[in-house]
Amino acid sequence: MPSAKVLEQKKQQVAELSEKLNSAVAGVIVDYKGTSVADDTVLRATLRNAGVDYAVVKNTLLTLAIKGTALEGLTSVLEGTTALAVSKDDCVASAKILSEFASKHDNFSIKGGFLEGEVISLDKIDSLAKLPSREVLLATVAAAFQAPMASFARAINAIVEKDGEAAPAAEEAAEAPAEEAPAAE
């Protein structure tokens, strides 16, 4: 039987893990067994730079943290070595980085994940990983908003240029009758 001090520490770990899961918009659970220290160090640095919190977790603690929540469906994947990557503001970062890492390392695999409080399938995690980065998506949206305005500006410019070419001919036509008028008098 564990001591009261150990039980209190574990309760605190479960509470911290629950808070981390509740504040995250997305997360991915992976099996890291057999990953070298060098590869793990590179992976952790990449995730940290993307704002993703990555940590090895005990299956029992994670099971207790998700018990009674919408994430309880992840219990079935909590076997073997488990690490959890969560992001508070980027839905794609953890899936993108971990999927790329898994594709290059045979001993590293994705077990499951969640998005905005809902358990998602491995196919959906793969789909998230294939999405362009946030910056690319924002640039695409900006270009979509800018395109109609740019087309309108080009159309107005074409009209001005067309009128600009017609204007000298109109001026010459207006000057000719004026010159003829004094001669007629």
- Report the pLDDT value the prediction gives residue 53, as an integer from 0 to 100: 92
Q: Tell me the residue range of the domain where 94 lies.
A: 4-131
Regarding whether 145 and 105 lie in a shared domain, the answer is no
Query: pLDDT band for position 167 (50/70/90)?
Result: very low
Q: What is the mean pLDDT of residues 114-143?
A: 83
Kindly state the average pLDDT of the residues 73-90. Answer: 89
Q: What is the pTM of this model?
A: 0.68
d(CA 11, CA 57): 14
CA distance 74 to 121: 10
Number of domains in the chain: 2
CB 28 within 8 A of CB 93: no
| Same structural domain, 101 and 16 | yes
Residues 98, 46 share a domain:
yes
What CATH number did the domain enclosing 33 receive?
3.30.70.1730
- Residue 161 pLDDT > 90, yes or no? no
Q: Residue type for 120, please? A: I
What mean pLDDT do residues 13-27 have?
Answer: 88
CA distances from 182 to 167, 174, 178, 179, 185 (A): 24, 14, 7, 6, 5
Same domain, 97 and 139: no
Cα separation values, 167 from 49, 126, 160, Å: 60, 61, 10
Average of per-residue pLDDT values in the chain = 83
DSSP letters spanning 72-85: GGGGGG--SS-EEE
Amino acid in the structure at residue 127: S
| Residue, of 71 and 133, whose pLDDT is higher | 71
149 phi-psi bin (left φ>0, alpha ψ -120 to 50, beta other): alpha
CA pair distance 16, 72, nearest whole angstrom: 17
pLDDT at 42 over 90: yes
Residues 159 and 84 in one domain: no
Whether residues 112 and 156 share a domain: the answer is no
Return the pLDDT at 101. 92
Considering the domain architecture, whether residues 80 and 148 belong to the same structural domain is answered as no
- 125 and 139 inside one domain: no
Q: What percent of the chain has pLDDT over 90?
A: 21
Check residues 183 and 96 and name the one with the higher pLDDT. Answer: 96
Is the same domain home to 14 and 93? Answer: yes
